[in-house]
Structure 1
């Protein structure tokens, strides 16, 4: 490896600044020119005349500081930074938690239930004498897959603290119904649990599709 030689040359008398000129003679590919009056610029020359650009920055000149140029920047005086925390309405139903429901609370109306129904998958509204209910059906591969789905639904419902009615019908069909019996209809808890159940993995339980050659 070639040794690097650093030499300092005296600055000409006519130069406006009395700084030594520094040259690095390790390789002809790198050169540090003398500082100029406006600012110090260090350019790295590589592969011929290709320039990589300026490095570093400069402090403002005294005249710029006296002019208070920063105060003239649009929005400098009234810029406000806020950290916004999403409220419940901004969260998806599956991210919300069930809360205790007072028996004095009115059930969700059918119009509001139809709007919330668009946020869950595979569920439908049932209007019965006891009030509105949510219902979902799963066609599974066999009886054992039905039992496994019921176990997965139970884990989700137990964590949420709100339980659906679950029926294992025929050899391979599971039916789940959600409603809040204490108010005789639907509450937000029913839609929250329905959304959480939607996230249960069922791809390994449903009948396999036939692939024809």
Structure 2
């Protein structure tokens, strides 16, 4: 059987700063040509859950299958995302009762997969979300804090922001009224993840 190579972007979750505005590197996934179109699951260890689904009525009506470029006999791989950071970012913060219990660490670990670059830390005020950014210089750190503040102001839920010399910003999110984390903290973290930072972070050296 003939072999066909498909290229997919390679993603990684940074521990200390954001990468989602850098150009991703690529790797090649070999597939094999078969008789007739076929969809195959890649499994859930790549990024989200993968699998096949039937087309929606609107997709059938649009004749989307006729618009696909490439060999129709090639095996296709389709990404079916689960609850993603983007859907979390689209949610709005809700009022928190002082009687509400903070989120359990197990639940926080599950939601941590939906945000990029954040980690869980245990502080004096309970469990917190923390994110670090390395910027080009101190002025870029000031600009990032301004952008984060605008997002937090719209959400009505504010992180603690620290501008640290020479070029680092640290953000911590938690709900102080109950001494721990709520869904609001993850919603704001996801909204912060969508902030443009590519013009503030150090540029990467491009090798020929």
TM bin (shorter chain)? 0.5 to 0.7
Q: How does 1:1-213 map to 2 (within 5 A)?
A: 92-212=87-207
Q: Secondary structure at the match of 1:189?
A: helix
CA separation of 1:196 and 1:212: change in aligned 2, threshold 3 A:
same
The one-character-per-residue Cα deviations of 1:36-83 (angstroms, maximum 9, x if unpaired) are xxxxxxxxxxxxxxxxxxxxxxxxxxxxxxxxxxxxxxxxxxxxxxxx
TM-score of the superposed pair, with normalisation by structure 2: 0.58
Counterpart-to-counterpart distance in 2, 1:165 and 1:129: 14
* CA displacement at 1:208 relative to structure 2: 1.1
Q: Secondary structure at the match of 1:116?
A: helix
In the alignment of these two chains, the number of paired residues is: 125
* CA displacement at 1:212 relative to structure 2: 4.7
Counterpart-to-counterpart distance in 1, 2:169 and 2:124: 23
For the aligned residue pairs, the C-alpha RMSD in angstroms reads 1.6
Counterpart-to-counterpart distance in 1, 2:185 and 2:203: 31
Find runs of 4+ consecutive structure 1 residues off by over 3 angstroms. Answer: none
